[in-house]
Amino acid sequence: MANLDPLARREFLGSMFEACQETGSTVLYSSHAVAELERVCDYLIVLRAGRVRIAGDIDELRSRHRVIRGPDGWPDAGGWQVISQRGMAGQTTALVRLDDARLPGPGLQETTPAFDELVLGYLGGDTAGLTGEVAA
């Protein structure tokens, strides 16, 4: 579909998903267009380096992760499983997995990740610990 113009692409996707609703079929849709994926999928599988990084229902995945922002160096003291992090202008932003009810400390801001933050976090995360599937 990469070579379709935007109108043809929208029409194709619309007819494909309409057919799925009518027949109850499941479609495996692979794309690098994250914004497009958000509009059409309800179950997500992120692959990196030939391995499944995360898989599950999108709403459940988002509820089990947080984006936490705070001063540089906070992830070392947070105790969360950090999926990915980036620093800029003295601030660190990290996607973390919530496997317990630990609350962020003072000076940290917590939000539920947007779809693209979740996907890009797992695509850009460290591959050193990548040993297999990370399930929801």
Is pLDDT above 80 for 9?
Answer: yes
What pLDDT does 36 receive? 79
Is pLDDT above 80 for 78?
Answer: no
* Domain ranges, ordered by start, for the chain: 1-30, 31-124
User: What pLDDT digit, counting tens, does each position of 17-59 carry?
Assistant: 888 889 988 888 888 888 878 878 889 999 998 899 999 999 9
Match 């109108």 to its residue by tokens: 7
Q: What pLDDT band is residue 105 in, cutting at 50, 70 and 90?
A: confident
Q: Indicate the pairing of strand 65-71 with strand 109-111.
A: antiparallel
For residues 74 and 108, the answer to whether their CB atoms sit within 8 Å is: yes
Alpha-carbon distance values, 26 to 17, 19, 82 (Å): 9, 10, 32
Global pTM value: 0.77
Pairwise CA distance, residues 58 & 73, whole Å: 29
Pairwise CA distance, residues 17 & 87, whole Å: 39
What pLDDT does 128 receive? 46
